[in-house]
């Protein structure tokens, strides 16, 4: 997704918006459903709405429409 140009569109709270540091495929072998590891600056900033947003963007960018996706958010 590098260079795709999509930015976080979440409401800024007192602590600000989360920053995605790294997005990587979690498993080396092909798995169903695909699993991604996303490293963020502060895991407490991840809301349910933000998870849905990132999940939908991954589906859109990678052509995974209709496919379940597992996302693990990890603190840096």
Find the domain containing 70 and state its range.
Answer: 20-75
Contacts of 58 (CB under 8 A, 6+ apart): 1, 36, 64, 69, 71
Say if 45 falls within a structural domain: yes
Q: Which residues pair with 71 in a beta bridge?
A: 36
Any idea what the CATH number is for the domain that residue 48 is in? 3.30.300.20
Say if 10 falls within a structural domain: no
Identify how many contiguous H helices and E strands the chain contains and give both numbers: 1, 3
Tally of CB atoms within 10 A around 19: 12
pLDDT digits (tens, 9 = 90+) for 49-64: 999 999 999 899 888 8
Say if 41 falls within a structural domain: yes
pLDDT digits (tens, 9 = 90+) for 18-38: 787 878 776 655 667 888 898
């Amino acid at each position: 997704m590098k260079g795709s140009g999509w930015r976080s569109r979440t409401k800024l709270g007192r602590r600000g918006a989360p920053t995605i540091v790294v997005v990587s495929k979690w498993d080396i072998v092909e798995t169903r459903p695909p699993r991604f590891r996303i490293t963020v600056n502060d895991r407490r900033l991840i809301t349910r709405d933000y998870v849905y947003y990132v999940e939908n963007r991954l589906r859109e960018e990678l052509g995974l429409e209709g496919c379940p996706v597992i996302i693990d958010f990890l603190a840096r």
